[in-house]
């Protein structure tokens, strides 16, 4: 008798218990592959995607620039500062000649400080010459101290800091004097910084004279430079501080305005001497050797 039972074809019945006798294989799932570099390259090379990226970057840069300019103007009037640096080569050359030889000039008049470029009038202030003069003065002092064997790298920062601090003190003193004597003028803070910074041109002359001719050359150049800067400032600022003048150019005004004009003019030689006299402490340059014929 055959006891074999043939299983019927059909769906298998679920087992009641799992067979744990066989070793279990860990279930490892294959990670899904992300987009390759070639696909990214295809996206970038797509003209539509490239144009969209360029437009987005351009709009982002424009909005960022507008935001910076809008918030920066609250503290620093950049638009007003720009025109003080809008100078030409002819203006710089003629202005340097005017600063060094103001006694030869016969045309003094008021300038337009409400707008426009400084090149419209030779007497109008600018910040290009004071800034360049400040940097050149620091280098000239470093060279002079180097010739005396006194130069150290720290002297550059010390010289620049001292000159800048004294410039700020000078502007603050003038502003305080205008407030105390209740004098209202059309001169602006940048105009005052410009006129105060013109003395660096004369200070460079004094330092170079000290290096070439020694203490004698320094004091001679200092006397002439002091007279030149005082004469220049009086002739230029009297049309602003003393607005009322007669046809024969004799300025009329209150005593307080005259004192303010003299304060601005005669404070320049004091600061010039304080910032340049230390370069004359070294030995005078040796004379050139005589050649026998």
pLDDT of 273 higher than 70:
yes
Mean local confidence (pLDDT), 40-45: 56
* Residue 203, pLDDT above cutoff 70: yes
126 near 113, Cβ under 8 Å?
no
Compute the average pLDDT of residues 22-45. Answer: 53
The mean pLDDT value for 102-129 works out to 73
Give the mean pLDDT of 246-265: 70
pLDDT value, residue 257:
85
Query: Does residue 252 register a pLDDT over 50?
Result: no
Per-residue tokens: 256: 């307080």
What's the confidence (pLDDT) of residue 241?
83
pLDDT digits (tens, 9 = 90+) for 153-186: 898 999 999 999 999 999 999 999 888 888 777 7
Model confidence, pTM: 0.69
Tens digit of each residue's pLDDT (9 = 90 or more) over 11-29: 555 555 555 555 555 555 5
């Amino acid at each position: 008798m055959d006891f074999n039972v043939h299983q019927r074809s059909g769906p298998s019945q679920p087992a009641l218990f799992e067979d744990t006798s066989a070793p279990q294989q860990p279930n490892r799932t294959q990670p899904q592959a992300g987009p390759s570099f070639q696909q990214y390259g295809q996206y970038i090379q797509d003209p539509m995607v490239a144009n969209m990226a360029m437009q987005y970057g351009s709009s982002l840069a424009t909005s960022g620039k507008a935001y910076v300019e809008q918030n920066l103007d609250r503290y620093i009037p950049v638009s007003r500062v720009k025109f003080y640096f809008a100078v030409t080569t002819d203006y710089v050359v003629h202005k340097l000649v005017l600063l060094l030889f103001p006694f030869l000039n016969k045309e003094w008049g008021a300038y337009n400080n409400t707008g426009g470029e400084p090149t419209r009038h030779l007497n109008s202030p600018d910040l290009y010459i004071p800034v360049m003069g400040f940097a050149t003065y620091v280098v000239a002092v470093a060279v002079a101290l180097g010739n005396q064997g006194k130069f150290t790298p720290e002297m550059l920062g010390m010289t620049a800091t001292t000159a800048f601090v004294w410039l700020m003190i000078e502007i603050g003193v003038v502003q305080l004097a205008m407030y105390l004597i209740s004098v209202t003028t059309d001169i602006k803070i940048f105009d005052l910084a410009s006129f105060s910074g013109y003395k660096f041109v004369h200070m460079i002359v004094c330092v170079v004279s000290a290096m070439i001719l020694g203490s004698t050359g320094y004091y001679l150049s200092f006397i002439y430079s002091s007279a030149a800067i005082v004469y220049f400032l009086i002739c230029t600022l009297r049309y602003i501080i003393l607005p009322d003048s007669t046809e024969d150019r004799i300025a009329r005004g209150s005593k307080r305005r005259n004192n303010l004009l003299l304060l601005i003019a005669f404070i320049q030689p004091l600061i010039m001497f304080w910032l340049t006299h230390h370069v004359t402490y070294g030995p005078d340059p040796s004379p050139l050797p005589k050649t026998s014929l």
